[in-house]
């Protein structure tokens, strides 16, 4: 993992220091072991060829960070910096960077494919090894160093009328666009989304923009279900009061949903998605389950009901481009409401506690 970052008590002063001598210090949140987060003062790295040092303007909380915080993550051994959904301002550019200059507002996703490997050649850039092995973590900080491959392929000027907060949604939105490109939801179709967390709601927003006929969201917690209704869900199912099965089987005049998007990341959710989809329908397993888990398939149903199972992982350059265009065109009305709280970097541990209790959707962490 190639992530460095840094930051400082006084950002303005820090930028001056950076600009003056390429050095300075900044804060960086580091996870030392599950649940043990510390704010560390680090030297600001001087960007090498192709790299950018950015001043973080906003980093968003994400379920992946919460999972890593709670139980560790096989891809991010501790000690590890955290935070991978971000936007910022170029503080210093390494030699050879000509797309950006100091002061440019930028948004980026934290990974980029090599474009030359087996998977990249087949258009499955999301499976490129470079994507996970060299992912940028560490946006919970004052400064973040972007590696050359991310700068070259997946860093963009922030559209001027899109806020830093909304721009930082580019990463989760790219995952959502990837999944929806695979699912190819048509304008006459009914979709059931299992899970009303930030990703379930991003799916809802993107499906509405796409013109799906009917979108139903099943989830828990009043604040999330209210958000789903505000985002334009045609129906909302509170799973603590209603049987999802009972509602789902009435959809499409009793045939059931054409597409089920699983966005809970729980084995029970995966199994439920398989049961709820109509004959001939598609299941999108979007939420990753804990490793080592498995799901039993009813082979008879799979075959005679002609199910299509999709399990999109991460995103490809074309998904990032589509997500950026949607943000630029304001094609996802209300999407900014997914970010329902704001905290300072120093309050990060409190943010994780709130996320754990399900009290927040997404928090904007501002240095
Ligand atoms: Zn994320
Ligand atoms: Zn590759």
Q: How far is the CA of 63 from the centre of ligand 1 (A)?
A: 6
Q: How far is the CA of 127 from the centre of ligand 1 (A)?
A: 17
Q: How far is the CA of 118 from the centre of ligand 1 (A)?
A: 26
Q: What share of the chain is helix, strand, coil (3-state, %, to 5)?
A: 35, 25, 40
The better pLDDT of the pair 121, 231 is held by 121
Indicate which CATH number applies to the domain containing 197: 3.40.50.720
> What is the model's pLDDT at position 305?
98
Q: How far is the CA of 186 from the centre of ligand 2 (A)?
A: 31
* 321 in any annotated domain: no
59 and 153 in a common domain: yes
Q: Which ligand is nearest to the CA of 116?
A: 2
Q: How far is the CA of 357 from the centre of ligand 1 (A)?
A: 18
* 328 in any annotated domain: no
What tokens appear for 15 in the block? Answer: 């930028």
Q: How far is the CA of 137 from the centre of ligand 1 (A)?
A: 10
Strand intervals (E) in the chain: 4-6, 25-33, 36-43, 52-60, 80-81, 86-93, 105-108, 143-146, 155-157, 190-194, 214-219, 235-238, 259-262, 282-285, 308-310, 339-344, 362-366
Q: How far is the CA of 74 from the centre of ligand 1 (A)?
A: 16
Q: How far is the CA of 114 from the centre of ligand 2 (A)?
A: 4
**Phi/psi of residue 45, nearest 5 degrees:** -75, 150
Indicate which CATH number applies to the domain containing 104: 3.90.180.10
> What is the model's pLDDT at position 194?
98
Q: If you search the block for the tokens 């993550």, which residue do you land on?
A: 73
CA pair distance 232, 236, nearest whole angstrom? 10
Q: Which ligand is nearest to the CA of 130?
A: 2
260 and 148 in a common domain: no
CA trace torsion 18, 19, 22, 28 (10° rounding):
20
Q: Does position 271 have pLDDT exceeding 90, yes or no? A: yes
* 316 in any annotated domain: no
Q: How far is the CA of 362 from the centre of ligand 2 (A)?
A: 31
Do residues 216 and 236 lie in contact, with contact meaning Cβ atoms separated by under 8 Å? yes
Q: Which ligand is nearest to the CA of 66?
A: 1
* 261 in any annotated domain: yes
Total length of the chain: 367
The per-residue pLDDT for range 37-67, each reduced to its tens digit, is 999 999 999 999 999 999 999 999 998 899 8
**Nearest CA-CA partner of 253 in 271, 273, 228, 278:** 278
158 and 43 in a common domain: yes
| For range 309-338, the mean pLDDT | 95
> What is the model's pLDDT at position 23?
60
| For range 315-328, the mean pLDDT | 98
13 and 156 in a common domain: yes
> What is the model's pLDDT at position 244?
96
> What is the model's pLDDT at position 18?
44
The count of domains in the chain is: 2
Q: Does position 14 have pLDDT exceeding 90, yes or no? A: no
> What is the model's pLDDT at position 16?
42
* 317 in any annotated domain: no
The per-residue pLDDT for range 279-305, each reduced to its tens digit, is 999 999 999 998 899 999 999 999 999
Q: How far is the CA of 61 from the centre of ligand 1 (A)?
A: 7
Q: How far is the CA of 58 from the centre of ligand 1 (A)?
A: 13
**Phi/psi of residue 361, nearest 5 degrees:** -85, -70
The per-residue pLDDT for range 108-165, each reduced to its tens digit, is 999 999 999 999 999 999 999 999 889 999 999 999 999 999 999 999 999 999 999 9
Do residues 54 and 144 lie in contact, with contact meaning Cβ atoms separated by under 8 Å? yes
Q: 79: cis peptide before it, omega within 30°?
A: yes
| For range 308-315, the mean pLDDT | 97
b/e for 203-227, b at 16 or more Cβ within 10 A?
A: bbbbbbbbebebbbbbbbbeebbeb
For 55, the domain range is 4-163+334-366
Q: What is the DSSP string of 110-148?
A: S----SSSHHHHTT-GGG-HHHHHT-----SBSEEEEPH
| For range 199-216, the mean pLDDT | 96
| For range 182-211, the mean pLDDT | 96
* 114 in any annotated domain: yes
127 and 85 in a common domain: yes
> What is the model's pLDDT at position 202?
97
Burial class (CB in 10 A: 0-12, 13-18, 19+), 173: buried
CA pair distance 194, 249, nearest whole angstrom? 14
* 318 in any annotated domain: no
Do residues 361 and 340 lie in contact, with contact meaning Cβ atoms separated by under 8 Å? yes
């Amino acid at each position: 993992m190639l992530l460095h970052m840094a930051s400082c008590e006084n950002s303005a002063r820090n930028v001056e220091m950076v600009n003056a001598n390429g050095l300075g210090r900044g804060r960086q949140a580091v996870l030392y072991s599950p649940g043990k987060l510390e704010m560390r003062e680090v030297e600001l790295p001087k960007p090498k060829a192709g790299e950018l040092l950015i001043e973080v303007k906003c980093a968003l909380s994400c379920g992946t960070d919460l999972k890593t915080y709670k139980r560790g993550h096989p891809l991010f051994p501790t000690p590890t910096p955290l935070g991978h959904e971000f936007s910022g301002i170029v503080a210093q550019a390494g030699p050879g960077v000509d797309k950006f200059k100091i002061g440019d507002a930028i948004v980026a996703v934290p990974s980029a494919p090599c474009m030359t490997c087996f998977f990249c050649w087949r258009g499955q850039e999301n499976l490129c090894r470079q994507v996970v092995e060299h992912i940028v973590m560490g946006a919970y900080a004052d400064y973040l160093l972007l590696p050359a491959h991310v700068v070259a392929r997946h860093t963009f000027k922030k559209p001027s009328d899109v806020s830093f907060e909304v721009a930082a949604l580019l990463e989760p939105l790219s995952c959502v666009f990837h999944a929806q490109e695979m699912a190819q939801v048509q304008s006459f179709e009914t979709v059931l989304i299992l899970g009303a967390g930030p990703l379930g709601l991003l799916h809802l927003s993107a499906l509405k923009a796409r013109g799906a006929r009917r979108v139903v969201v099943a989830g828990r917690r009043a604040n999330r279900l209210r958000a789903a209704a505000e985002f334009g869900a045609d129906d909302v199912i509170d799973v603590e009061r209603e049987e999802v099965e009972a509602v789902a089987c009435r959809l499409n005049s009793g045939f059931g949903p054409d597409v089920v998007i699983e966005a809970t990341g729980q084995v029970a959710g995966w199994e439920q998605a398989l049961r709820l989809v109509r004959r001939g329908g598609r299941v999108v397993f979007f939420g990753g389950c804990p490793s080592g888990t498995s799901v039993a398939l009813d082979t008879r149903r799979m075959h005679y009901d002609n199910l299509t199972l999709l399990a999109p992982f991460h995103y490809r350059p074309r998904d990032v481009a589509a997500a950026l265009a949607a943000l630029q065109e304001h094609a996802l009305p209300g999407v900014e409401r997914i970010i329902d709280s704001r905290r300072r970097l120093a309050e990060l541990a409190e943010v994780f506690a709130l996320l754990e209790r399900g009290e927040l959707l997404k928090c904007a962490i501002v240095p």
